[in-house]
Amino acid sequence: MRYFLIVYDRSQGRRRELTEFSEGQRAHALEERARRERDALEQPELEVVLLAAESRADLERTHGRYFKSVEELAAAR
Amino acid sequence: MPVVRRSMSISQIRRLGDRLRHAAQPSVEDLELLQRLRLEYDAPLQIVERTLRDELQMHATSRLKTVQTIIEKLVRERTRLSSMEDIAGARIVEEMTLAEQDERVARIVAAFPSARLRDRRAMPSHGYRAVHVIAFVGDFPVEIQVRTHLQDLWAQSTEALAVLWGRQIQYGEPPERAGDGIVGADDPFGPTRREVIDLLRSLSATIAEVEAIGQPDATEMVGLRRVLERFVRVFRRTV
């Protein structure tokens, strides 16, 4: 598994950051996500999500909204 | 399957959930407690990931819910933190028929014998259709969502709009400023947000009809394509 830490701006419907962690970095990715979540406590518009996937392509398929606009989501099908 | 136990008692978790539900702003201590509790779901989630991948050869992605969405759910649904079933979750999305979806779900249930099934195709939740399997690993539930591509298209589009117009649209309520025209619309008589949500809900019903056919013929696919094209046309001007 690889890990993808995403900071998503809900007020804009746009991804702000994407950090990738490798197979052996699950614990580090979880710690980093918790830290970023605490930092964003006063910014409710920010969603700090950590997703696990075999590949980025898998993630784009199952969590497309972090990668595509609604129009692109619909057009991709 | 290894035994995985919670370090907090059920009553400690309930009290934490009650404090989070009622606090205008969660305290740093409660936030850290919630993060610690959530972290305990990671070992069960890894067991589910491995089972899906190694035993069932299924491509799943996974996540632990954000603290923000856990708190929002506590406030919105009156769910107890101790009985929340989707703190850990995995998702499988494939191009498949309903029969193939049933077959995958049956294999997952067989791999997790105490699992519970939530078939939201039979009883859609405000348009949302999918099958959820709640697997239990020790004390911890892990929600496994199984979606066809079309079910997922609908769900992700709704989630993307919910971010912009309010999460209540996922629970059957109208969007914020429901009468506003959609952002960026060049036609002053174009659809309002409420009409876009109505269109989305009718799209869910159309997808259900097409999926029920199994192998839709050309005429039925033309009907679905028309609805999808309208959907894309409207959303092109939405975000």
Tens digit of each residue's pLDDT (9 = 90 or more) over B200-218 = 888 899 889 888 887 666 6
Q: Where are the beta strands (DSSP E) in B86-196?
A: 88-94, 116-119, 131-137, 140-148
Q: Please report how the helices B28-40 and A26-39 are oriented relative to each other, as an axis angle in degrees rounded to 10.
A: 160
- Kindly report the CA angle at A65 between B218 and B71, in degrees rounded to 5? 130
Is B41 an interface residue toward A (CB < 8 Å)?
A: no
- What integer is the mean pLDDT of B5-32? 93
Lowest average pLDDT, out of A17-26, B14-23, B39-48, B173-182, goes to B173-182
Burial of B151 (0-12, 13-18, 19+ CB in 10 A): buried
Res B191: pLDDT:
78
Q: Nearest chain A residue to B145 by CA: give it.
A: A62
Res A2: pLDDT:
96
Other C-beta atoms closer than 10 Å to the C-beta of B172 total 11
Within 8 A of B156 by CB-CB distance, chain A residues are 63-65, 73
Is B119 an interface residue toward A (CB < 8 Å)?
A: no
Half-sphere exposure in the Cβ direction for B109 (13 Å, CA): 14
Within 8 A of B60 by CB-CB distance, chain A residues are 62
Is B210 an interface residue toward A (CB < 8 Å)?
A: no
Report the predicted TM-score, pTM, of the whole model to 2 decimal places: 0.89
pLDDT: which is higher, B227 or A26: A26
Question: Going by C-beta distance under 8 Å and a sequence separation of 6 or more, which residues neighbour residue B85?
Answer: B134, B141, B143
Q: Please report how the helices B28-40 and B42-50 are oriented relative to each other, as an axis angle in degrees rounded to 10.
A: 30
Residue with tokens 């990668």: A67
ipTM for the complex?
A: 0.90
Of B32, B61, B164, which is closest to A53 when you measure between CB atoms? Answer: B61
How many angstroms away from the CA of B222 is the closest CA of chain A?
Answer: 15
How many angstroms separate the Cα of A72 from the Cα of each of A68, B153, B171, B232? 6, 10, 24, 9
How many angstroms away from the CA of B110 is the closest CA of chain A?
Answer: 23
Task: Quote the percentage of chain B above a pLDDT of 70.
Answer: 85
Is B9 an interface residue toward A (CB < 8 Å)?
A: no
Q: How far apart are CA B103 and CA B140, in angstroms?
A: 25
pLDDT tens readout for residues B75-105 = 988 889 999 999 999 999 998 999 999 999 9
Within 8 A of A25 by CB-CB distance, chain B residues are none
Residue with tokens 């972290």: B39
DSSP state of B170: G
Within 8 A of B66 by CB-CB distance, chain A residues are 37, 47-49
pLDDT tens readout for residues A24-61 = 999 999 999 999 998 888 888 899 999 999 999 999 98
Q: Nearest chain B residue to A51 by CA: give it.
A: B63
Is B27 an interface residue toward A (CB < 8 Å)?
A: no
Res B169: pLDDT:
87
Q: How far apart are CA B189 and CA B96, in angstroms?
A: 39
